Amino acid sequence: MLLELNKLNKIYPNGVHAAKDISLNVRKGEFLVLLGLSGSGKSTLLRCINRLIEPTSGEVFFQGKNVTTADKGQLRLIRRHIGMIFQQFNLIRNLSVLTNVLTGKLGYLSLHRSVNILRNHEDVKIALQNINRVGLTSHKNEKVCNLSGGQQQRVAIARALMQKPDLILADEPVASLDPATSDSVMQYLGELNMKDGITIICSLHFLSLVRKYSSRVVALKDGEIVFDGSPLEIDETRFREIYGEQAEEVEIR
């Protein structure tokens, strides 16, 4: 099993219980989509997996290693194999596409090598290959602040690839993009899953994308799992059950 979550809980200082006894096993090669309203616990769950957020209780195992009890050095080694893609891209806006992609390698480098990251010819070669893979070769020297939202998210995908990840966590990666661009970005994630065998856990809102790309759907509501199954089982009726009274406010496209 690639990833195991056992009775995972997260209670924030304000008392919000964002993840409630979540137990979940994820096999290598799955494309798992998390569904649920904002505040349902999707982002909390994703961030607890790699301990960007510290769980309150419970355990996370990744490739047999206990993430929740790992010390700083052990956690650094674990995170090398877990890429993360954010809704707002989390890029260094005034640096070039190439430099941003190279930062994905920082988890593997010493302080001295990280300072001289652009001088490592092998890493630059790999970065250029990853940039080409997401169709941005002609933009490699351009500042990311000059790119469109979809292009910036593709930079973030190329950056994650620098880690040679076994797992990519994607936190609403297309929420701020238009439908056509959303599908384009999801195609790249789908390719990584199908061709490279990279396991993807991705939070989404849009039913058409869920049906097109996921192999499994887990729905959260008020911090609890309320559905775990095939995307074929998520029809519009089930979708509205998951989203409750606010279902009409969620665009189904």
Q: Domain 3-249 sits in which CATH superfamily?
A: P-loop containing nucleotide triphosphate hydrolases (3.40.50.300)
Tell me, what's the pLDDT at 115? 47
Task: Name the pLDDT band for 109 (thresholds 50, 70, 90).
Answer: low
Q: Which residues pair with 228 in a beta bridge?
A: 218
Pairing mode of beta strands 224-229, 65-66: unpaired
What does the alpha-carbon distance between residue 162 and residue 248 come to, in Å, rounded to a whole number? 39
Per-domain residue ranges for the chain? Answer: 3-249
Q: Which among 66, 49, 69 has a CA at the least distance from the CA of 8?
A: 49
- To the nearest whole number, what is the mean pLDDT of the chain? 91
Sheet holding 3-11, edge to edge: 17-26, 3-11, 57-62, 65-66
Tell me, what's the pLDDT at 218? 97
Query: Please, are residues 227 and 36 in contact by the beta-carbon 8 Å criterion?
Result: no
Buried b (16+ CB within 10 A) or exposed e, 182-221: bbbbbebbbebbeeeebbbbbbbbbbebbeebbeebbbbb
Buried b (16+ CB within 10 A) or exposed e, 30-60: bbbbbbbbeebbbbbbbbbbbbebebeebeb
Structure tokens at 55: 């769980």
Task: Name the pLDDT band for 240 (thresholds 50, 70, 90).
Answer: confident
Tell me, what's the pLDDT at 249? 57
Structure tokens at 124: 């630059």
For the ranges 116-120, 145-149, 172-176, 187-191, the lowest mean pLDDT is seen at: 116-120
Task: Name the pLDDT band for 111 (thresholds 50, 70, 90).
Answer: very low
Tell me, what's the pLDDT at 152? 96
Tell me, what's the pLDDT at 250? 59
Residues 6+ apart with CB under 8 A from 153: 85, 89, 173, 174, 177, 185
Determine what percent of the chain is predicted with pLDDT higher than 70. Answer: 91
Residues 6+ apart with CB under 8 A from 96: 140, 141, 142, 143, 144
Task: Name the pLDDT band for 239 (thresholds 50, 70, 90).
Answer: confident
Look up the pTM and report it.
Answer: 0.92
Structure tokens at 97: 């596409």
